[in-house]
């Protein structure tokens, strides 16, 4: 049986693309006792509230018609965000050369967070350039990788 996120992505993808956006990620998570199905969308120039609303209405109708999820859940559509998480190989490929923050499960050199320019991704291992020094983090050690936003 397919995962909820895969089924939702399959239903959502054509609708998201019809609305001029790309599907960045889908998550199905339980928070504070409630299940949430979240679509994260992206678009050149940024995602507007109107984009989220149009996608949300159409995908919600498709989900209601297909009824692929047992039980109740809260459905949300939002922008992937400026500090979006990188999870899939295509995310890393698209963001190569951008500044990222790598968070680790266990401290390395006394730190759990490293910021640098994404310079490599291979089989889940992430390499960043920290001031001319390449640092490689193996997949089991990496808790999260996000785009880094400077203010």
Q: What CATH number is associated with residue 108?
A: 2.30.30.180
Question: Are residue 70 and residue 97 in the same domain, yes or no?
Answer: no
Question: Are residue 74 and residue 131 in the same domain, yes or no?
Answer: no
Across the chain, how many H-helices and E-strands are there? 3, 8
End-of-domain residue from the set 57, 79, 101: 79
Distance, CA of 2 to CA of 73 (rounded, Å): 18
Q: How would you write the pLDDT of the chain (151 residues) with one tens digit per residue?
A: 569 999 999 999 999 999 999 999 999 999 999 999 999 999 999 999 999 999 999 999 999 999 989 899 999 999 999 999 999 999 999 999 999 999 999 999 999 999 999 999 999 999 999 988 999 999 999 999 999 998 8
Retrieve residue 9's tokens: 């992505």
Q: What one-character DSSP code corresponds to residue 85? A: B
Give the DSSP H or E segment for 106. Answer: strand 99-108
Decide if 60 contacts 90 (C-beta within 8 A): no
């Amino acid at each position: 049986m397919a995962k909820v996120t895969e089924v939702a992505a399959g239903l959502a993808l054509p609708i998201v693309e019809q609305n001029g956006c790309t599907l960045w990620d889908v998550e199905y998570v339980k928070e504070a006792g409630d299940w949430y199905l979240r679509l994260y969308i992206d678009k050149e120039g940024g995602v507007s509230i109107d984009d989220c609303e149009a996608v949300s209405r159409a995908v919600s109708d498709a989900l209601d018609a297909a009824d692929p999820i047992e039980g109740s859940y809260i459905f949300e559509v939002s922008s992937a965000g400026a500090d979006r998480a990188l999870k899939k190989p295509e995310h890393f490929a698209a963001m190569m050369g951008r500044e990222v923050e790598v968070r680790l499960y266990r401290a390395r050199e006394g730190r759990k967070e490293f910021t640098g320019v994404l310079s490599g991704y291979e089989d889940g291992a992430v390499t960043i350039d920290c001031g001319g020094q390449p640092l490689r983090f193996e997949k089991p050690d990496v808790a999260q990788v996000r785009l880094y936003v400077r203010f």
